[in-house]
Structure 1
């Protein structure tokens, strides 16, 4: 009599978005699955996504929203477990969802905790074992089986391993870069990581004067006098530099060029609702109407009053309290330039604790695009942020986690 096939034993290293999805997918396909998580609970980073609302995905999953040495690699998993399959997956788990501006998808509950709750419930219902405070410090292989050496001194054996440890962003939520060393052990190379979706540091001695000021600005990243990327929206000055959604969106590009050692410039247009000609006519008329007022005071009601003295000094005007009517044509031109073309040298980004995502990671050249399996070590798989794939802000990184996790889990179980 033919004996029933014994379920393949899979260890998922990391209990984040990618790891939990991989575990569910592997169990759906008959595998015996154990999740090994170094933190005291799984899914901590899921709870922080989308400002606590969990931006599940985006309706526009164009590959143009992804980055890395080979961003097209992401297409393999994104096409196999696409937007519709992802939403069907979460609907099955109990998540009702809605689409907001920019194609961003959120749970109707507006709670990231609800996403984690239904995933944990599914894991428990499926009989997936979850071990917390079980960080993996090393992986070896003997007699065709992987031996996972835990930080607590324990050992776990598996026939297949999925590394879903995340990158280095937000280490307080569990990502400490430990997966890179595990990958290197099996010959994989690492594209040096750097923080992305993070605030920018600027070279300016007046930042403390204007910290806390918010405006709807247009921002642009430049290098070697060439425009690289631009975004618009609410921008916040800080005592170290600048923040806000547009800045986070541009930070990946800024970080990449800074990482190469290139000089990066941030250009701000703080009056982006007028054309240059319209702004010139407006300013000329305003100065005429308020010619008797001190120059700095003449801008009150038009520009944030804490910003006015800084802007005028940046325009090269020494006496900012002279009568507005005494502003020369050259000085007026300098003010116009600052209002729509204010430039700062970007000196860096904030560090890993402030970053939302990691750029860089395990080089995808040695990973199968269709299965997420290592080309160097059969039975070893990767999923999520540990790989050299990262996306724009707006649900793209979580979608990569769901897609790569599901494909890795399914492939590991059936191959």
Structure 2
């Protein structure tokens, strides 16, 4: 006689919903336990509200945008549910897709709500029970089943359990780190979580004066004289430090160094399309043409006006009204050096509330690489951001959610 397996999924985010759909299609009775008042809230915020579903540049052989303690582990899971399979999965649900710059895949509608709508429709269609406004505090093993206990002491039973509670980023959207507590209580280790894809705090006395200034440039994270990573794009000075897409991409390297009690530096190149020599010639020629103008005025039209006095003072030029003809070659070289390699000490990052993803998580050494099942307690599975896997901006984190959710849901329902 066929015995229907009951699978409990803790967490109704991207990984949890994928796991639920796959497990239900395999014939399991599935219940999602979600602490927020509805599933998929964080999904609505992805891709600036457009939902960057995946990235066509991601493959088992190209994992440069995936991070964590074991890329081979992540690559094996991503191979089991690929980018093409993800796109096809959503096409069947009704999401026509388009590919944009850097391989980013978005729904044709440009609405994250479209993706959530079709996922919720599928949950309903499969008669998957969704219980919201509930937080599971404990998981106990009792003979051949598991008992889930919520914050009010109410108990629920299941044959298999998938923990997909997310990390600690954007706690207002559901990820409050509760999954780490569950994992530890089950005997698992957790690699210390820290915020990634987050704005950086800098050490500088003049940040309030230049907050709000945007420019296209390049940024590098440097540690012990070595460039860890370099990114180009729109940068934004803020009251606390610096933001912009390149900074989000660099932030993991910076925060990880800080977590290791090291001192990372960020280096800003305001003219990445010019070599040092080209910029030196440009500015020298500019000053020679404007020899009778005040130095600060001579830079108007080249860099943001609010940056000019800061750039000059940091270059140890304090008389801003000196005529250009009075500026020595050595002083010009100082200015150019700053414009090409302006360095700041990184002193921290914005809070979990501002980070897009969590680095660190449940230790992969204690998880079966083929099934995502716990090596410590069979019948417990993990998926999504809760694990020690994270990715760059651009759809990589959502692809990990879909792939890991698929594998966990498939294996837990077998």
Give the equivalent residue in structure 2 for 1:315. Answer: 315
Aligned to 2:12: 15
Q: 2:33 aligns with which of 33, 36, 45?
A: 36
- For 1:257, the equivalent position in structure 2 comes to 257
Moved more, 274-283 or 386-395: 274-283
Match of 1:114 in 2: 114
SS in 2 for 1:63: coil
Residue 355 of structure 1 is matched in structure 2 by 355
Q: What is aligned with 1:25?
A: 22
Matched, 1:167 2:164: no
- The whole-number CA distance in structure 1 between the counterparts of 2:280 and 2:337 is 10
Q: Secondary structure at the match of 2:64?
A: helix
For 1:6, the equivalent position in structure 2 comes to 3
Separation (CA, whole Å) in 2 of partners of 1:6 and 1:35: 20
| CA distance in structure 2 between the partners assigned to 1:223 and 1:389 by the alignment | 23
User: How much has 1:115 moved relative to structure 2?
Assistant: 0.3
RMSD: 0.7
Matching residue of 1:185: 185
2:239 partner SS:
coil
Structure 2 equivalent of residue 50 of structure 1: 47
Give runs of aligned pairs for residues 8-407 of structure 1, distance below 5 A: 8-61=5-58, 62-407=62-407
Give the Cα–Cα distance (whole angstroms) in 2 for the partners of residues 21 and 233 of structure 1.
33
Encode CA deviations 1:201-245: one digit per residue, 9 max, x unaligned. 000000011100000011000000111000000000000000000
Distance 1:274 1:180 in 2: 47
TM-score by length of 1: 0.98
Residues matched between the structures, number: 411
Deviation at 1:108, TM superposition (A): 0.2
Q: Deviations over 1:300-319 (max 9, x none)?
A: 01111000000001111121
Structure 1 residues 134-171: Cα deviation after superposition (integer angstroms, max 9, x where no partner): 11011111122110001233211001000000000000
Q: For 2:297 and 2:227, how far apart are their aligned partners in 1? A: 34
Instruction: Quote the offset at 1:72 in angstroms.
Output: 1.9
What is the SS of the residue equivalent to 2:413?
helix
Could you tell me how far 1:379 is from its partner in structure 2? 0.4
Give the whole-Å Cα distance in 1 for the aligned partners of 2:171 and 2:186. Answer: 24
Measure the CA separation in 2 of the matches of 1:94 and 1:227: 44
Take 2:271 and 2:309, find their aligned partners in 1: how far apart are those partners?
17
- 1:348-386 Cα shifts (integer Å, max 9, x gaps): 111100000000000011111111111111000000000
Partner SS for 1:222: strand
Post-superposition offset of 1:324: 1.3
- 1:322-348 per-residue CA deviation (whole Å, 9 max, x = no partner) reads 111111111111001001010000001
Give the whole-Å Cα distance in 2 for the aligned partners of 1:269 and 1:232.
Answer: 9
Q: Secondary structure at the match of 1:42?
A: coil
User: How far apart in 1 are the matches of 2:152 and 2:119?
Assistant: 26
SS in 2 for 1:305: coil
Shift of 1:21: 0.3
Matched residues in 1 for 2:250 and 2:70: separation?
A: 19
Gaps of 5+ in 2: none
Using the TM superposition, give the Cα deviation of residue 175 of structure 1 relative to its aligned residue in structure 2, in angstroms. Answer: 0.2
Q: Residue 218 of structure 1: SS of its match in structure 2?
A: strand
Deviates more, 1:6-15 or 1:315-324: 315-324
